[in-house]
Amino acid sequence: MKLLLHACCGPCTLEPLRLLLEEGHKISIAYMNSNIQPKTEYDHRLETLLAFARDQGIEVIEGVYDAHAWATRVGSYGPSSETRPDRCRACYRLRLEEAAAYAAAHGFDGLATTLTVSPYQYTTVIGEELADVCAAHGLAPVFHDYRENYAEATRRSREMGMYRQDYCGCGFSKVEADDERAMRAAERARAKAEREIRLAPIKAQKERELAARRAEKQEYASRRARQRAALKEYKKTHANR
């Protein structure tokens, strides 16, 4: 079918596009992601996607970047982890609605999305929202859970030198990602400190043993030097007789 593939970024597009093409669909990509903040990040991800799509001969349709609409419909849920599921659902809905409206107006038969590649997204919710927007616009929802392809998408994107973002997209997700990285760094530092404390007695014993060996070598060298000096003196004394 003539399929519009909503894409969040270049790396996440790799595997869904490959698999959907293998299914025989005629695909165009929709980059409709008003959630991405700041605008420079939005542009960076778009440039990465466009470069890849040009190489593949795939059309990319860019939506309207409307950060205000996102803040009004999604941002009101706030940064709380408790409201995150509802916030993400509203974010999926906003972006997929935009893609579905475009698809219906431009003769597409169905709509798919790359969002399910990430293991950090709410996959079931994505499927529900995709089905709802497609039903509202008379489109066929083409839903696949691509999480098992995440590792391959990661490998391929790194091999291709693609820009890989380190947070989902919105400002809230960036704070969450930064906090998680800080927590992991703190945990690594704590584990390292505990390991050093645990190994300190062993390290101290090894240092004592090393110091003892160095002392033995020094004593041996001193003894040999005295022996050589004594031998030299002996030879000197007896040579004069």
Cβ proximity of 181 and 25 under 8 Å: no
Burial class (CB in 10 A: 0-12, 13-18, 19+), 156: middle
Give the angle 113-116-121 at the CA atoms, nearest 5°.
125
- Decide if 99 contacts 135 (C-beta within 8 A): no
E strand or H helix at 113: strand 110-113
| Helix, strand and coil percent figures for the chain, each rounded to 5 | 70, 10, 25
Answer whether 7's CB lies under 8 Å from 42's CB. no
12 carries a ligand binding annotation: no
Question: Is 8 labeled as ligand-binding?
Answer: yes
Summary count for the chain: helices (H), strands (E) = 7, 5
- Chain centroid to Cα 95, Å, comes to 22
- Alpha-carbon distance of 108 to 56, in angstroms, equals 20
List CB contacts of 175: < 8 A, sequence separation 6 or more: 79
Cα separation, 100 vs 107, in Å, equals 11
Q: Is 88 annotated as a binding residue?
A: yes
9 is in an annotated binding site: yes
List the binding residues.
8-9, 88, 91
| Residue numbering of the annotated binding site for [4Fe-4S] cluster | 8-9, 88, 91
